Amino acid sequence: MSIFLDKNTIKQIIKEHKYSEIGENYELWLEKILIDIIKELREEQEYRNSHLATKEDIKLILEKMDLRFELLQKEMNTRFENINTRFEAMQKENNARFELLQKEMNTRFEAMQKENTARFEAIEKRFNTITWVIGLGFTMIFLSVALFNVFKS
């Protein structure tokens, strides 16, 4: 905000006051020019002041801004709480699914372990049976050979 008028306005005021109309009184001529310049300054200042915000206007604007900020803050808090609630629900659901999958995997592992143990025991029984049969067969062969040698001689 400037307290000075621009050059063109001052030149215009001086042109409007012709020195010859005053009647050779230089001081009166200069006084009238200065009075008109001061009037013009006052009008300019009043115009600017009429378009400026007052303290009350600024206070009202700040109050409205504070109210808007509080409303936005409440809205953001509500949104955050909603998101947090949804996240916690999803986390609980995922934990429940994970626990269910873990139980299912443990059950399957235990079943596989029992099945493998049963298979291993069946294979071991077959192996023992085969070993016993082979042993019995060799024993029979050795007895036959021994009996054959005994009867031959």
Residues 6+ apart with CB under 8 A from 25: none
40 and 62 together in one domain: no
1 and 73 together in one domain: no
111 and 77 together in one domain: yes
66 and 126 together in one domain: yes
Q: What domain range is 65 assigned to?
A: 55-153
76 and 35 together in one domain: no
15 and 33 together in one domain: yes
* Residue-level pLDDT at 20: 56
* Residue-level pLDDT at 106: 96
Q: For residue 50, what are its two tokens?
A: 């009429």
Which of the two residues, 53 and 56, has the higher pLDDT score?
A: 56
Structural domain count, the chain: 2
40 and 92 together in one domain: no
CA distance 34 to 10: 10
Overall pTM surpassing 0.85 (yes/no): no
44 and 81 together in one domain: no
Q: Looking at the predicted structure, is the pLDDT value of residue 23 above 70?
A: no
DSSP 51-97: TSPPHHHHHHHHHHHHHHHHHHHHHHHHHHHHHHHHHHHHHHHHHHH
43 and 59 together in one domain: no
